[in-house]
Amino acid sequence: MKSPDIKEKDLISKCIDGDGNAQRQLYQQYVKAMYNTAIRIVANRADAEDVIQESFVQVFRNLHSFHGDASLGSWIKRITINSAISHIRKHRKFRLVDVDDNFDWPEPEEEAVYAPVDMESVHHAIKQLPDGGREILSLYLLEGYQHKEIAQILNITESTSKTQYRRAKGQLQQLLEPKLS
């Protein structure tokens, strides 16, 4: 169990007491990292900004409940991820479809050697994925969640998470194919 250092505890205490300078400092310290987390999930600048705004409102509203079980950054990131998922659920324009686990999925090609792809191209390609696949791919690959956790978060089955992930991964490979050759 990691407890916050003295400086961080002081900042948290001042934020809880409503000190605007402390709140601004905490916001500036974490906003860029949280924006990067949000944009990977919602894939649209305006939505990511909405998610960040909602996240920090929740952070300041609930800072009194932060006990240092994890780092402050991890705690804020968890709030940001939950806000992004809630935002997508509210504005969901897709339906996750459960596919039978017995479906015969083609095996990926053997270890192919590809030319390096710049991260900007990868992020651009991820943004082009359908919402459901992008959300699951981001949670699995970028945020490190397991399919069982994703299923619980999104209220879907684990097999649906795996299926949507495979589809999104295949679509991502197709989108990046011209840059890989």
- The CA radius of gyration of the chain, in Å to the nearest whole number, is 19
> Mean pLDDT over residues 6-26, rounded?
90
Is the pLDDT score of 166 beyond 80?
Answer: yes
What is the CATH class of 119-180? Answer: mainly alpha
Which CATH number does the domain 6-90 belong to among 1.10.1740.10, 3.40.190.10, 3.40.50.720, 3.40.50.150?
A: 1.10.1740.10
Closest by Cα among 56, 24, 21 to 38: 56
Is the pLDDT score of 100 beyond 80?
Answer: no
> Mean pLDDT over residues 16-45, rounded?
91
Percent of residues in the chain assigned helix, strand, coil, to nearest 5: 70, 0, 30
Bigger pLDDT: 181 or 124?
124
Is the pLDDT score of 101 beyond 80?
Answer: no
Confidence tier at 112 by pLDDT (50, 70, 90): very low
Domain positions in the chain: 6-90, 119-180
Bigger pLDDT: 1 or 60?
60
